[in-house]
Chains A and B, each alone.
Chain A
Amino acid sequence: MATVVHPARHYLNDGYGISSWLLTRDHKRIALLYLAAVTFFFFVGGAMAVMIRLELATPVGDLVTDETYNKLFTMHGVMMVFFFLIPVIPAVLGNFLVPIMIGAKDLAFPKINLLSWYIYIIGGLFTLYALIAGGVDTGWTFYTPFSTMASTTNVVPTALGIFITGFSSILTGLNFIVTIHRMRAPGMTWFRMPLFLWSTYATSLINVLGTPVIAITVLLVAAERVFHFGFFDPRVGGDPVLFQHLFWFYSHPAVYIMVLPAMGVISELVAAGCRKPVFGYSFVAFASLAIAVLGFLVWGHHMFVAGESVYSALIFSILSFLVAIPSAVKVFNWTATMYKGSVSWETPMLYAYGFIGLFTIGGLTGLFLAAIAVDVHVTDTYFVIAHFHYIMVGGTIMGYLGGLHYWWPKISGRLYNEGLAKLSAGIIFVGFNLTFFPQFVLGYLGMPRRYHAYPPEFQVLNVLSSAGASILGVGYLIPMVYLMWSLRYGRVAGSNPWGAVGLEWTTSSPPPTENFAETPVVTWDPYEYPAADLEGHVA
């Protein structure tokens, strides 16, 4: 093996001290600022999940009061959705990778990139304040008129936190769109771009187009609470269901904001893990755009039982089935990519296997919810909880962790302990399924979501779910330990530890501040193997 050495000069040692981080305009350092922040919110949201599962281990409400329980699931949802799942992959991996993958020195607007981190932090602090000052109990969905007239908790600070954070999504989205349009290296045509960029691009479109809607919606809720305007409260002439239309017009596409980037990560992991091009590259690329577009047209499937007319329901049902097709196309293409590949069993690929399997179950159970007659029975039950956790935890978090493991050597310049990493990937997979699979059964049995206490015949399945959650929690803590450990003690990675293709593997690990010694000129298609240099690859 050729000697692998740590580069002398890289973005991590280009300046020391707190201000070199807090005032940085380097997209890679900003990615790490985001990494720290989203990890913090993940563990805050996770702690609440632990409390929820502990409470649900027994049918009666005994661990916390009903008031506290309602605040726990609300803040769990708010923290996880707005402060972890939505930003996590674009803001951490996207920030780090978008410029490098297209051969650019930085994003188009480096200062705005730093600004979006600060906006995110300010929004997060508002929401943390709401939590510490007594919490909020509306559910992360803020349904009116409960949120505007009945709840006595901190709805307004939470709404403001979400409103503020939205600008961070919009700015990051704009930054990516402009960067991908304007800053590609010579020869980096659209169809030479890695699929991660296609899905990041699609996600950015949703962020820019959809986020203003949620911003104005939560603002209307806050305004109605403070000034009693009567947008949503029927006692003063409002329409409570109008809120649901506005909320889901953003929040359904938001599901794709969460999962599209993970799909992009999986395309990268599968290609590198099989050392061959992603099967049907253009189909996978356009599937991302199809999901982004169709995703805006299906919000009404959240309201099949909310007094929606029969014909609206029919239209939203058929559109919801259509949006499943591009997702299915992606799954088939990833699977086909493995055919005659040189298939790796390393940690990133284990996450990719996990993602494809869990996302498949998540997607297929989405069909149950698109079928109106079945949705009527299972909506607002644990079936829905299980379904979207398969997408968001089984999909987004699996994709994120896979990506983090795959690019960690690039980010840190060091290798983590592969044995521990595989072990924790296995623990997460087992823990995840034990947590959420019983919830499908509970949902069809009829256990409603957001229940602090439940009929005793549901206990066994709930105990299984809670047991799974404790395993899952351990699985998430282990990577924290060995990734931190690797920063100091990990073996030096070298520029291309996986023997993968892609511009990010042509520069040193960690990359220099300007990413490349000289601007690369791209003359090859994406995922064209063999890589020029497979030497640094670890066995």
Chain B
Amino acid sequence: MWTGTPLFPESASTIATRVDLLYFFLLAVSIFFSLLIAGSIVFFAVKYQRRRRDAIGEQIHGSMILEIAWTGIPFLITMVIFVWGASVYFAMARPPDETLNIYVVGKQWMWKFQHLDGQREINELHVPVGRAVKLITTSEDVIHDFFVPAFRMKADVIPGRYVSIWFQPTKPGRYHLFCAEYCGTRHSGMIGEVVVMEPSEYQAWLSGGAPEGSLASTGAKLFADLACNTCHRPDAQGRGPVLEGLFGKTVRLQSGETVTVDEAYVRESILTPSAKITAGFQPIMPTFQGLVTEEQLLALIEYVKSLHGLPQVESR
């Protein structure tokens, strides 16, 4: 009956083993206190069982020493768990500098993946083993959640925002991908697989697809089609800011504030250009709300990133 029924999930990422270690510690703490409490209850209930109808208990009111002990000891234990949990969380929250970037768009009820080289996938994500992978996620409609139990990784995929998460797979294989934030009728059908491959197989897979060009080149074409290039020119003669080398920089706004040019800022500047005007420019750019899809936005962002001048992060 139990064949094929796992009781513990596979660990297939660098972070998974660290999460599991903390989990086992928590399990040990829980078992210890559960047995302590349950054991005491059973022991007292048997030992001090009422034997005469009118018997009363010994009139004990309390003990300051015990109160301090059972306030202090749990406090110390929980603080150990807090620090431990937070330190593993720091590792989850901070991706390494060198990552393989992939864009993820969630929509009711499917996962769409966009590789920088141009490959697109639906509900299946191919990645090489041993490389840190960063997913830049967003949603076309409601909140979804990207959950791969084998990687102990989960993040809400939120419309209007770019949420980045990362993982480094340690074992080739096929792993469940679930949507973990309830998103409507076919929520339980919004599932897929992450396929972790040996680097050589991954290379073969990459070259197997026949993409229409890299994501950045798709963005470049779009940039021209939408006539962005009439104002955003590389020679500082245009009516809009120069985009070359802009990504990752900090720019000063008209309001005097500064903002770092990241995915969210580029997105906002395309959809709501008047929200944050760069100092020295007029608010003349029209909104592209409704004219570009989430995926086209990602292509444009990737194009702006490619104008960075620095060597591509995504080097192979």
Within 8 A of A (CB), among B76-112: 78-79, 81-82, 84-90, 92-93, 108
Is A530 an interface residue, CB under 8 A from the partner? Answer: yes
Q: How far is the CA of A232 from the CA of B63 in the complex (A)?
A: 51
Our pick among A343, A377, A452, A455 for the contact of B19 (Cβ within 8 Å) is: A377
Knowing A325-B71, A339-B44, A457-B5, the reply to whether A534 touches B78 (Cβ < 8 A) is no
**Chain A, interface SS category:** helix
Question: Which chain A residues lie closer than 8 Å to B179 at the CB level?
Answer: 448
B149 touches A313 (CB 8 A): no
Which of B47-55, B115-123, B229-237, B247-255 is the contact stretch? B47-55
B100: min CB distance to chain A, Å: 21
Question: Which chain A residues lie closer than 8 Å to B259 at the CB level?
Answer: none
B186 touches A66 (CB 8 A): yes
Is A482 an interface residue, CB under 8 A from the partner? Answer: no
B184 touches A151 (CB 8 A): yes
Question: Which chain B residues lie closer than 8 Å to A448 at the CB level?
Answer: 147, 178-180, 188
Our pick among B4, B40, B59, B186 for the contact of A457 (Cβ within 8 Å) is: B4
A413-448: CB near B (< 8 Å → 1, else 0) gives: 000000000000000000000000000010011101
Number of residues from B at the complex interface, CB < 8 A: 88
A329: min CB distance to chain B, Å: 6
Is A402 an interface residue, CB under 8 A from the partner? Answer: no
Residue of B nearest to A528 (CB): B59
B41 touches A357 (CB 8 A): yes
B54: min CB distance to chain A, Å: 4
B296: min CB distance to chain A, Å: 16
B82 touches A318 (CB 8 A): yes
A374 touches B23 (CB 8 A): yes
Q: How far is the CA of A145 from the CA of B143 in the complex (A)?
A: 7
A360 touches B33 (CB 8 A): yes
Question: Which chain A residues lie closer than 8 Å to B2 at the CB level?
Answer: 460
Is A361 an interface residue, CB under 8 A from the partner? Answer: yes
B34 touches A361 (CB 8 A): yes
Is B152 an interface residue, CB under 8 A from the partner? Answer: yes
Is A11 an interface residue, CB under 8 A from the partner? Answer: no
Our pick among B33, B49, B185 for the contact of A66 (Cβ within 8 Å) is: B185
B59 touches A529 (CB 8 A): yes
B34 touches A360 (CB 8 A): yes
Number of A-B contacts (CB under 8 A): 296
A329 touches B178 (CB 8 A): no
B34 touches A451 (CB 8 A): no
B187 touches A339 (CB 8 A): no
Within 8 A of B (CB), among A305-341: 305-307, 310, 313-314, 317-318, 321-322, 324-325, 328-329, 331-333, 335-336, 338-341
A338 touches B82 (CB 8 A): no
Within 8 A of B (CB), among A253-277: 274-277
B62 touches A283 (CB 8 A): yes
Chain A, interface residues (CB within 8 Å), range: 35 or more
Question: Which chain A residues lie closer than 8 Å to B29 at the CB level?
Answer: 364, 367
Our pick among A61, A310, A324 for the contact of B74 (Cβ within 8 Å) is: A324
A150 touches B66 (CB 8 A): no
Question: Which chain B residues lie closer than 8 Å to A365 at the CB level?
Answer: 30
A373 touches B163 (CB 8 A): no
Knowing A150-B184, A281-B62, A307-B156, the reply to whether A372 touches B54 (Cβ < 8 A) is no
Is B9 an interface residue, CB under 8 A from the partner? Answer: yes
Question: Which chain B residues lie closer than 8 Å to A460 at the CB level?
Answer: 1-2, 5
Question: Which chain B residues lie closer than 8 Å to A364 at the CB level?
Answer: 29-30, 33-34
Q: How far is the CA of A484 from the CA of B6 in the complex (A)?
A: 45
Is B302 an interface residue, CB under 8 A from the partner? Answer: no
Within 8 A of B (CB), among A466-515: 499
Within 8 A of A (CB), among B21-52: 22-23, 26, 29-30, 33-34, 37-38, 40-41, 44-45, 48-50
Question: Which chain B residues lie closer than 8 Å to A313 at the CB level?
Answer: 89
B142 touches A150 (CB 8 A): yes
Q: How far is the CA of A112 from the CA of B29 in the complex (A)?
A: 47
B155 touches A342 (CB 8 A): no
Knowing A137-B185, A150-B108, the reply to whether A310 touches B90 (Cβ < 8 A) is yes
Q: How far is the CA of A333 from the CA of B75 in the complex (A)?
A: 16
B56-73: CB near A (< 8 Å → 1, else 0) gives: 111111110011001100
Is B183 an interface residue, CB under 8 A from the partner? Answer: yes
Q: How far is the CA of A172 from the CA of B176 in the complex (A)?
A: 48
A137 touches B184 (CB 8 A): yes
Is B130 an interface residue, CB under 8 A from the partner? Answer: no
Is A102 an interface residue, CB under 8 A from the partner? Answer: no
Knowing A280-B67, A328-B70, the reply to whether A444 touches B8 (Cβ < 8 A) is yes
Q: How far is the CA of A321 from the CA of B76 in the complex (A)?
A: 10
What are 12 sample pairs from A and B whose C-beta atoms fall under 8 A apart? Answer: A234-B160, A235-B159, A239-B160, A306-B156, A317-B86, A342-B55, A343-B45, A360-B34, A375-B85, A451-B178, A452-B188, A537-B54
Additional 20 contacts, C-beta under 8 A, given A306-B143, A380-B147, A444-B8: A145-B141, A145-B159, A240-B143, A274-B57, A279-B61, A279-B62, A321-B79, A341-B57, A341-B58, A342-B48, A356-B37, A371-B22, A376-B152, A380-B145, A380-B181, A445-B8, A445-B149, A457-B4, A460-B1, A460-B5
Q: Which 10 A-B pairs have the closest CB atoms?
A: A446-B149, A234-B160, A371-B85, A276-B57, A373-B88, A341-B57, A338-B44, A451-B188, A280-B62, A321-B78
